[in-house]
Structure 1
Amino acid sequence: MPNTPDLGQDIRALRTARKMTLETLAQKLGKSLGWVSQVERNLSTPTMDDLRDIARVFDVPLSLFFGTAPAPEKERGRIVRASARRHIGAHETGLVETLISPDLTDDFEVIHSTFQPGAAREEVITRPTTEVAYMISGMLELWIDGEKFTVSAGDSFRIRGDSYRWANPYDTPAIAVWVISPPVY
């Protein structure tokens, strides 16, 4: 089962970020309102099939609910070691995303993204978020509302509910840190 004591908080954060009620989530899962409430309060543990259904409803990878390394009590919710980051995202070919934030319970999330050489998102995405990204290394082609930009190490950009897509046609990985509000993963 999930290796995080914050499973219920993460599920609640995903639900509220999508402005979904407990009742709506229960309906989409074919579960009772009470069951969803108990899961969010860590009073009930969902089965693997339940977690698969929850991941499907929120369009997140199942791995989001797993993979945090054990941490000393004083670090939980405060420190995220590089080896303990959770893999998240849509897992498009050539894009690796990990959660830098300790969990999904804040008004924002911080994501580390590595865009491999040749990777691209051809399909335009639009989210009801404000996102700011800082390029750590490499270069990335970025289309925001159809307008093309090239960003490189040291550059940053903001997307506020705009449509966007990206590509890394270069020979080196592009690495960025994103701050997204509200959380989407």
Structure 2
Amino acid sequence: MSWKNSAERWGPVSQLLHWLIVLLVLVLAIVGLTMGELPKTPKYFWVYTLHKSVGIIVLALVLVRIGWRLHAGAPRPVAGTPAWQARMASLTHALLYALLLAMPLSGWLYDSASGLRPFRWFGLVEMPKLSAPNESLSALSNDAHELLFWVLVALVALHAAAALYHHLFQHDATLTRMLPRRRGGPGAG
């Protein structure tokens, strides 16, 4: 078994990174949308620190994913895919990577510029500030973080809808090649 991507499908490293990032972004979205409703108790600050810490993990994983994709390549478009769809898929992937980098960076910049006490990743390591306290930069980066989130939601919905369209209506391997192969099934081994 090869860990790299093949011309036909994503390899296990790419699959693991893809689904791990999906899961962590889903957790971040749920926490991010609900933490504003929490009373300002120690639990709130724990949840807020957890949100920031997981955001840094996503940033690191996206960098690893981009590096792995540069190293391992990407599968060719599924046979019969029109050129415009292949270009749209490439553009969508590039935008997803950009947003997945910009989201945690904008949150980190917001935290830095807000002048809050130092952020300690999972309470262990103090993260460097990206900026000195700056009220206007803090507001701008917070607004950017929120806007980028909703753009990411829309793009992820489009990405998932396209994969489901290919699976349900085109009956091609666009979706299944990002899923692990079943042991003993066709092509396993």
TM-score bucket (shorter structure): under 0.3
* Structure showing greater Rg: 2
Structure ranking higher on relative contact order (CA contacts 8 Å, 6+ apart): 2
Q: Structure 2 length normalisation: TM-score?
A: 0.24
